[in-house]
Structure 1
């Protein structure tokens, strides 16, 4: 019998992943305890998370000393540090990976965000990261930019598991699923074992409300203000319907017959940014079978403390969600522009975090270099 909100969430078909990673979590046993105590079955990372982890250099001191002695470049140092953390996290989750037949127990590592608009460079780095980490439960994160779509297909074709990130619109999500299907078809043609591969599509949630609400506030009419806090959940619910549509086709059935696992929707950016909204909003309202919810620790703890489930909150809601978007258009919201702004900002934010990470490591290497001693 389920006894906690997180246990109930897991039983409802939602895989709980942590949206955070650091060496401290690994070495203190925190990551392992989240598996045993809070039903966490995967981890996502991104440049912002690594920049935050490296800001506290104490846990990385020995490795930074060694890198400085070897005269490592900043890019090489960042690559070694991040892949080491991800490799060790993969080892922590290896039991979950085995127990779930490769569905969960996954750890995600993102390609350099400076390559978000470079298809060939993204594929090359994805292959290199896969070989460097050398763990079957790794997922390579690739942004769903127009240039990222063919990179997704080509990376999957190499037998590499992929987490597609920075998805904001349902139209782009459909293109992502098509890229996934094409990649899996090519992987099969290339002789890869589809049963070992996994993929998720990270559909960003809270940022949609943040951008739409800002525009609704500017419009300022009663009709506009009444729509605050409705766009993100409606958007994700439409995405889930698209998922059901695509993974109900003959094309998918053929791949499934060859052992492929469906690319699950992953709800990302689930930390509530507007304090006027319930802190578990993007968990409770997005419960659906065969989904992933990757949460920052504050959201995980909030749901563990007072989360409520009301069954499947998504299936059968597409018509109501479409009505929300019709109402948004009626008051003057250009949702296409919203999605483009969010995608551009997402790439820019990760790019900025990556530069922050490079700067932090550069300073640490400089302070430890033989010339400074």
Structure 2
């Protein structure tokens, strides 16, 4: 198979291409393998909404649900079995990629139950359980960057488990996430784990920031406010990358861990599907290009980039100062950025909880029908 040249160029620029989607049909039909062969895909991310869509749209899970029902499994156990089976199978598809990249890529993420987003102890317990159930070296356990999630990140890493930190919206929270990561590496080292085998990414959400801030700018309605539409998401991500550089390239904590083989926690650009049709549909891919980053794309965005995307290698590095100017201008026109990020985090958790609850309800109905 021939790799798409545009996605190959993106990979050559240092951006790992991950797919923000997974289903049993993709695995069994070979579609996931084709994404690897044709679109330079070297990883997969999942979330409750992705599993909800996958299971609701397919009958490929019916046989397993019937078997689990016969065994007396409840709805939570059924969903755990379904999702960990899919992630385990996807990990096997990417196993050679993981070997070839020394574990940097070839990663598949699975998220803790979103209802545990504000429960540190519950998050830690389920993260450990998921890692044991999937039982693959290239799995990443997704933990939300809520206040309760921060200590959970440290404690899960301390157990020698690789982590994908999700639902990061602000640079301030991202700095806290990197601190939690470094604390986790310190603890893992003290616990006798090989920190060279620990991998982590920090999923920084992009398009949702523009959606929320654009709505506020339109309500303000002044020419100065309207001129800032579509600028916040990229500026926020660029400031996040500057923070990453300060911690992992210039910071005082990481060198000692690096001497033990530790690797930086890469920035992962999430929510990169454009939600405003007035913006280029590859905006959050083409304009977020920097070495040692990840872009996890919905299938639609990946196909758009493969068709007409561009690689702007000057889109992040050196862009901190103009990005700070964007944020200063947002504050000057009356956008309360602290409130923006608080709202986005709350909505992000709520959306995943709603998707998970819908999946629980649908699965419970299937279990009941099978037992009837």
Task: Find the residue that maps to 1:191 and give its secondary structure.
Answer: coil
Displaced runs of 4+ in structure 1, greater than 6 A? none
Question: Does the alignment pair 1:225 with 2:226?
Answer: yes
- Report what 1:180 is aligned to: 181
* Equivalent in 317, 320, 333 of residue 319 of structure 2: 317
Cα deviation for residue 21 of structure 1 reads 0.6
Distance 1:223 1:206 in 2: 21
Q: Deviations over 1:78-125 (max 9, x none)?
A: 000000000000000001000000000000000001000010110000
CA distance in 2, matches of 1:64, 1:310: 46
Q: 1:256 aligns with which of 255, 258, 265?
A: 258
> 1:190-229, CA deviations, whole angstroms, 9 ceiling, x for partnerless residues?
0001121100000000000000000000001111000000
* Counterpart secondary structure, 2:161: coil
Aligned counterparts, 1:197-346, within 5 A = 197-248=198-249, 249-346=251-348
TM-score, structure 1 as length reference = 0.98
- Aligned residue in 1 for 2:19: 18
Q: Distance in 2 between matches of 1:98 and 1:365?
A: 39
Give the number of equivalent residue pairs.
370
Q: Which residue of structure 2 lines up, in the alignment, with residue 193 of structure 1?
A: 194
Pairwise CA distance, 1:311 = 1.7
String of CA shifts for 1:240-277, please: whole Å, max 9, x gaps: 00000000223101111101111000000000000000
Q: Structure 2 CA distance, aligned partners of 1:88 and 1:259?
A: 29
Consecutive unaligned residues of structure 2, counting only runs of 5 or more, are: none
**Counterpart for residue 48 of structure 1:** 49
* Structure 1 residue 2: Cα displacement: 8.8
Task: Name structure 1 gaps, 5 residues minimum.
Answer: none
Indicate the residue corresponding to 1:76 in structure 2: 77
Name the SS of the counterpart of 2:132 in structure 1. Answer: helix
Instruction: Give the superposition deviation at 1:312.
Output: 3.3
Query: SS where residue 336 of structure 1 aligns?
Result: helix
TM-score (norm 2): 0.98
SS of match in other structure, 2:334 = coil
For 1:102, the equivalent position in structure 2 comes to: 103
Aligned equivalent of 2:350: 348
Contact 1:44 1:109 in 2 (8 A): yes
Is the CA contact (8 Å cut-off) linking 1:203 and 1:265 kept in structure 2? yes
In 2: Cα distance, 1:274 partner to 1:105 partner:
31
Query: How far 1:3 sits from its partner (Å)?
Result: 6.6
1:38 correspondence with 2:44: no
- Provide the C-alpha distance between the structure 2 equivalents of 1:3 and 1:312, rounded to a whole number of angstroms: 22
